[in-house]
Structure 1
Amino acid sequence: MSPRRRALLPAALLAVVTVASACASSTTGVSARQSRVSSGDTDVSFRTCGSSCTGTLDGAKYAIVLPARWNGTLLLYSHGYRFAQAGPPSFETPSTDAQVSSTDEDGTGQDALSKQLLAKGYALAGSAYKSNGWAVADGVAAAEALHDKFTKTVGTPNRTYVWGDSLGGLISEIVAERNASWVDGAAPMCGAVAGPNLNLDVALDVAFAIKTLVDPSLKLTGYTSADEANAQWRHTSAVLQKTAADTAGGGTAKVLYVGALVDAATKTATYDGADIESQVKATVESLLTALAYGTLGRYDIEQRVKGNPSDNSSTDYAARISAREKSLLETVGGKPDQYSATLAKAPRVSADAAARTAFEKLGDTTGKITVPTVTMHTEADPLVLVQNESVLAQRARQRGAADRLVQLYVAPPKTYSEQTGAPYGAGHCNFTDQQRVGLIQTVDNWVRNDVYPTPAGAAASLGTGVDGAFSPGPWPASVS
């Protein structure tokens, strides 16, 4: 069309042409991205990052490890919770190194899991965050900055999957919800995806019940130092273990009652729960694991949000004990009605409203899931209750996003020795390398090939342990 003819077009028609052109451009952009995401190219060009493969971004150490031949996929990893100071049960100095996968310790990608992923052509990247502790906001910021760094330094991925363990599972889900423009799939593992307040409320429930029934000296909130919190954990640990061993005096039943209140795991990586003795040991381990976050973890959180965010002022503990649990407790000489009455009369804890709001704002899931998301959780998790998955599923349903969420559960063998421990399925984030690699392959097959995951289908990649019949049940009752 000549310039003159174009000038004679009515203004309204020019507007229609302009809008149509803009729509076509938008459609082309979306199609271009989708074409890139679903690409089967296994030899995508990239720039080697050299000395820029490691460094610090906004105070957070990071690492990038590249395969010999890139399939175009970036796996952006977020690590799990690390105490801000040395804490229970090992009291080792917490790591401050970046991680590029679940079992990588120093950002080098020399562990067996990372090597498997690299051999399949994945590029790996991960951060250490700029702080330890409940560093959700730091973790989200670190992941976003690292993706930008990777794109500028190495190249634009055809697709990016975010994945992480424990607190990193929560971080990965938040990153996915907030960054639909570049996240193409998500794989949170053993994630605290019910968010901050629900999880710390349960830690308060554990501490409150132990204080009321087992150790009156236990401090519930307001620790003044990490040393005070650690000393408290050591003292209460000794008291709880002594109480659990007191079968004749009713101590064992009290400990099992506390476990029942919070659905504590009766199998752990060490104890298979095959008999009552093993169940008691597993319950003690689960409660002490939770108590670590109710002491040292709480100290860190209360410093961050300037007060106590947890609340049990309206909690009905008696309602948490089912008829089946009550019968079992009575079988071992327990008095569950009496324990519940004692809890009902004990002084409660009210949250500082500003602190509770501040804790929530550090980062929580919304259920606004826009990309294929596959979570994986051990059925017996002593730290991050498997019911975290129930909360995320409910939020996804409320957002109309249930079709973009698939949740896989890994069951442990029925029995295993204390010497060898559970190979998978019991314990926090206790998965095999095959299960982790299989999870990534499951997400990838959904994203690139539109193959909707089923437990049976996932089992082909993940191997033994996937339990398609398992349902985690509802979250333990708590205040809103």
Structure 2
Amino acid sequence: MAARQRWPGPRAGTTRFRRTGTARFRAVRRGLAGCLAAIALVALSACTGTAGPEPSSGPPALHSCEQVACTGVLDGAAYEILLPRGAWNGTLLLFSHGYRAAQPWPPAFAPVSTEPEPAPGWSSGRREIGQQLLDAGYALAGSAYPANGWAVADGVAAGASLIDFFRTQVGTPQRVYGWGESLGGLITVELAEREPELLQGAVAVCAPLAGVVPLFDLGLDVAYGVRQLLVPSLQLTGFASYADAVSALSAAATAVMQAARDPAGPGGATLLLLDALGDGPTRTLNFDGHDRSSQVSAAAETVVGALAYGTVGRYEVEQRLGGNLSGNVGTDYAARVTAAEAAVIDASDAGATQRALAALAGGARVAADPAAVRAAASLGDPQGDLTLPLVTVHTAADPVVIVPNETWYRTRAEAAGAADRLRQYVTVPPASYPQQPGAPYGAGHCNVTDQTWTGAVNLLDSWVRSGVAPTDSQATAAFGPDSGLDPAYVLPPWPAGDPTVQP
């Protein structure tokens, strides 16, 4: 594996972020503490690669929110800190929220959110997860990041600043855990890899752990397929404006939904093939895939989601990078469609697979901008070189961030010799479920139970405190009987590319 490059700053071409003034002093002090901790770690590490049990002590002191500003703006990012009513258990949980659109997102075009998020769903009024952890004695903190969009470097910097603020103004934690969902899971893992002295462990749920380049490459594959099979005029990259990207999405989504009205004919066959190009599931939150019509509806949902990130999401990413980060020159689309998938595609439209693959083979391909690809490391390219425990959770049928993201990261962790610091869990949906309210778990993006969230945190906490990695039975107990956790789940391969080769 190539040597890891220095962590770029919030915009392409800048250097790794640096804190200044008193924050810089705190960073130096923390670095010294990290060196001393590393020496101790060598002596205490066991086969799990984590520190051994820590000595017991009384609850540490906290300044209350009447004494310090538990809400405010720090380095351009709104933040919120929540403190337990009872005794603090000495642990700070730093939450990183998921992707938020930089501009109003179609089709609703609702105003973008800039609220801080100290726990999953907190800013939208869903307080159960955060409250359970507060009741257990955890302190919670979260940021809105200085900017929306694919704000990985922004999120890493905001998290580091918030940890510094908590330590100097609120209390000195005995442990700090990062936890995050979706893009926030990627931010959490990047923080764990790039600033390991800040954390003792991390939890990432439904995270795009393959990184931004592989993810947008897959999005390009789906959009390219839509252009070749449904919308010949579809623009794929280089949008001149946000309005142009929205227009492209509207045209493509309209064609996809029209095809979905023909589940038993050519339209359904086309959508199932497009879904296969990005290795999307044929089950989603609201479609259980019990018959062809349900599978086609799930495929349509997955394809439209990929198109959204491949158009309006791509526009924002290309603005950050100054160019297109994705390419499909040399991509063999025939290799993406398995024999089993082809049989389903062709079941009601004989020969559909071969006709579609011929159209894909004959289209004009897209080349990535090498400078944009290099700069894309600033938007997330986790290496797997963990020095602390990481717990990940993914739904088996995630239509937005496919579960093979976990495979990509495991491959890198194994190559880095860090697989013993990684525990990955997948939840599987029931065999059938109603369209409304949909799957209780296992299908849909980040659709895990509240107990799965709190269980993952508590599982990590036990791992860090004891120095012993969790067993499958412990994970099953922590997540609860209604989580859909399948400890025997076999992670599927990433559909394209080699995780050990740098973009």
Change (3 A) 1:249 1:28: closer
Structure ranking higher on relative contact order (CA contacts 8 Å, 6+ apart) = 2
Deviation at 1:100, TM superposition (A): 0.5
Change (3 A) 1:248 1:375: closer
Identify the range of structure 1 (464-473 vs 404-413) with the bigger mean alpha-carbon deviation.
464-473
2:174 corresponds in structure 1 to 158
Note if 1:99 corresponds to 2:117. yes
Deviation at 1:30, TM superposition (A): 3.0
Q: Which amino acid aligns with 1:84?
A: A
Identify the range of structure 1 (47-56 vs 411-420) with the bigger mean alpha-carbon deviation.
47-56
Q: Which amino acid aligns with 2:193?
A: E
Q: Is the 8 A contact 1:37 1:159 kept in 2?
A: no
Question: Among residues 230, 235, 244, which one is paired with 1:228 in the alignment?
Answer: 244
Q: Which amino acid aligns with 2:358?
A: A
| TM-score normalised by structure 2 residue count | 0.86
Q: Please list, as runs of the form range in 1=range in 2, the aligned pairs for 1:73-472 lying within 5 A after superposition.
A: 73-105=91-123, 111-247=127-263, 249-334=265-350, 335-463=352-480, 464=482, 465-472=484-491
Deviation at 1:90, TM superposition (A): 3.3
Measure, in 2, the Cα distance between the counterparts of 1:102 and 1:399: 31
Identify the range of structure 1 (132-141 vs 229-238) with the bigger mean alpha-carbon deviation.
229-238
Change (3 A) 1:280 1:153: same
Deviation at 1:377, TM superposition (A): 0.4
Provide structure 2 residue ranges, at least 5 long, that are not aligned to the other structure.
1-34, 45-50
Q: Is the 8 A contact 1:42 1:70 kept in 2?
A: no
Provide structure 1 residue ranges, at least 5 long, that are not aligned to the other structure.
1-24
Larger Rg: 1
Change (3 A) 1:129 1:175: same
Paired residues, number? 455
Measure, in 2, the Cα distance between the counterparts of 1:430 and 1:229: 28
Identify the range of structure 1 (315-324 vs 45-54) with the bigger mean alpha-carbon deviation.
45-54
Measure, in 2, the Cα distance between the counterparts of 1:158 and 1:32: 19
Q: Is the 8 A contact 2:52 2:467 kept in 1?
A: no
1:30 corresponds in structure 2 to 40
Deviation at 1:26, TM superposition (A): 4.7
RMSD: 2.2
Q: Is the 8 A contact 1:312 1:478 kept in 2?
A: no
Deviation at 1:124, TM superposition (A): 0.2
* 4+ aligned runs moved over 4 Å, structure 1: 25-29, 31-37, 39-42
Identify the range of structure 1 (216-225 vs 277-286) with the bigger mean alpha-carbon deviation.
216-225
* Residues 307-336 of structure 1: CA deviation (Å, up to 9, x unaligned): 111000110001111111112212131521
Measure, in 1, the Cα distance between the counterparts of 2:274 and 2:184: 28
Identify the range of structure 1 (448-457 vs 93-102) with the bigger mean alpha-carbon deviation.
448-457
Instruction: Describe the SS at the equivalent of 1:161.
Output: strand
Measure, in 1, the Cα distance between the counterparts of 2:37 and 2:153: 34
Instruction: Describe the SS at the equivalent of 1:181.
Output: helix
Q: Which amino acid aligns with 2:324?
A: N
Deviation at 1:45, TM superposition (A): 1.6
Deviation at 1:213, TM superposition (A): 0.5
Deviation at 1:363, TM superposition (A): 2.8
Identify the range of structure 1 (225-234 vs 280-289) with the bigger mean alpha-carbon deviation.
225-234
Q: Is the 8 A contact 1:320 1:476 kept in 2?
A: yes
Measure, in 2, the Cα distance between the counterparts of 1:292 and 1:26: 47
Change (3 A) 1:225 1:37: farther
Instruction: Describe the SS at the equivalent of 2:257.
Output: helix
Instruction: Describe the SS at the equivalent of 1:96.
Output: coil
Measure, in 2, the Cα distance between the counterparts of 1:303 and 1:127: 23
Deviation at 1:234, TM superposition (A): 2.0
What fraction of aligned residue pairs are identical, expressed as a percent? Answer: 46
Measure, in 2, the Cα distance between the counterparts of 1:443 and 1:455: 13
Q: Is the 8 A contact 1:184 1:447 kept in 2?
A: yes
Measure, in 1, the Cα distance between the counterparts of 2:101 and 2:184: 13
Deviation at 1:66, TM superposition (A): 0.6
Deviation at 1:449, TM superposition (A): 1.6
| TM-score normalised by structure 1 residue count | 0.90
Q: Is the 8 A contact 1:308 1:352 kept in 2?
A: yes
Change (3 A) 1:439 1:89: farther
Q: Which amino acid aligns with 2:443?
A: A
Change (3 A) 1:28 1:97: closer
Identify the range of structure 1 (85-94 vs 361-370) with the bigger mean alpha-carbon deviation.
85-94
Question: Among residues 473, 483, 492, which one is paired with 1:473 in the alignment?
Answer: 492
Measure, in 2, the Cα distance between the counterparts of 1:36 and 1:131: 39
Instruction: Describe the SS at the equivalent of 1:264.
Output: coil
Change (3 A) 1:213 1:31: closer
Measure, in 1, the Cα distance between the counterparts of 2:447 and 2:282: 15
